[in-house]
Homo-oligomer: A and B are copies of this chain.
């Protein structure tokens, strides 16, 4: 591809992306293709000679796009959002053009120093302790694994890297914690049998007294409590584990406290939501994802530690071919995580933070929270629907409830969700809360507004009406 062709297609693709972002409502939110459809539409042979970009782009439009589930759609209410933004997309273009691999300071000083700076901005915006140091990880799964590994090392006086785990090391998390905790525990060699799932209260938050009881019991039995993973904003219902109570217990018993605030952490940029991080002064490590609710393209997970020395001691390696003359005076982020190679992810974060400014981000987050409250009120006042968890931020957990038995309700809601999504107009997903099948209305797409939330509600009520045969008017 010659430079002129690159320019021509570059301009074409920029316009395509602009049109895509503006006109996304023409697409069904969730791709309606069947397994095998996309593959069936593509040439299965790797070409001997290169294909023209015109052909490739046509296949992209004709076959790839119908197979895309549109995460940036204004009617995206599934999982959690992974919202991007124009400044972030532009920065990704520059990052790709530079093609820098930022494993150590020397292999791109600007990447290392910008990463340090933007992580300080994030730390201060969220009100994390000023002593914390940050690094970008790819995902919260990785960040939580990194925390579990550092905790493992600290609990064994930095012997587990060398000798493995010799006595049972225990990890505590709530019944509602994300699956990445279990996955990380397995990877780090703790053994899943050494997770203690602490019961939750009626709001699905960890009960500190239960945590303390478990820690004491394990200590009495000669096991070593190594790590507590608390969640600020669980995936199922955005439940908030109480960090003050948990933090005091961790401090008393010398247990590493990691906080997974992957989605909800962003809300702490609002003065009125700062309380979600009350107790954060007890925390050893903390993760939240700017790629979820802070307009930064996936992947970009912000990980903070109180004691970077323990992190580096866990991960540093010094092969000769990676030594540089600056090693003593700079941050080499390769030693702050699992991968050696690193993308220049700080650039997109910097573009986003500077483009929106604190006020721009606060406006967006407030609006999403307001929309969730609007939706919650609709649920609350409608006799066919039931609210299933507190709504503090931008997720509403609800279900249809016609007074049937629980097992019927689960089946009914599963079928009801399928019906709603089949419309292509919205995409919601589900979870279970204490055995109950629950629909999740997760609001956080950059372009989601009152219109989309109201339309979603209308669609849901209409579907319920069809299902129940009753006429329900829209509030």
Interface size on A, residues (CB 8 A): 149
Residues of chain B with a CB closer than 8 A to A83's CB:
99
A298 in contact (CB, < 8 A): yes
Expressed in whole angstroms, the Cα–Cα distance for A160 and B11 within the complex equals 52
145-177 of chain A: CB within 8 A of chain B = 145, 149, 152, 160-165, 168
Q: Are B183 and A162 in contact (CB under 8 A)?
A: no
A130 in contact (CB, < 8 A): no
A467 in contact (CB, < 8 A): no
A109 in contact (CB, < 8 A): yes
A30 in contact (CB, < 8 A): yes
Q: Are B355 and A69 in contact (CB under 8 A)?
A: no
Residues of chain B with a CB closer than 8 A to A92's CB:
92-93, 95-96
Q: Are B72 and A194 in contact (CB under 8 A)?
A: no
39-54 of chain A: CB within 8 A of chain B = 39, 42, 44, 46-51, 53
Residues of chain B with a CB closer than 8 A to A474's CB:
none
A388 in contact (CB, < 8 A): no
Binding site for B on A (CB under 8 A): 1, 3, 5-7, 9-11, 13-18, 20-22, 30-31, 33, 35-39, 42, 44, 46-51, 53, 55-56, 60, 63-72, 79, 82-90, 92-101, 105-111, 113-114, 116-117, 121, 124-125, 138-142, 145, 149, 152, 160-165, 168, 178-180, 182-183, 186-194, 235-236, 291, 297-299, 315, 317-322, 325-326, 329-330, 338-341, 343, 347, 350-351, 353-360, 418, 429-432, 440
Interface pairs A-B: 8 shortest CB-CB: A189-B189, A67-B110, A10-B14, A164-B191, A17-B97, A92-B96, A84-B99, A46-B121
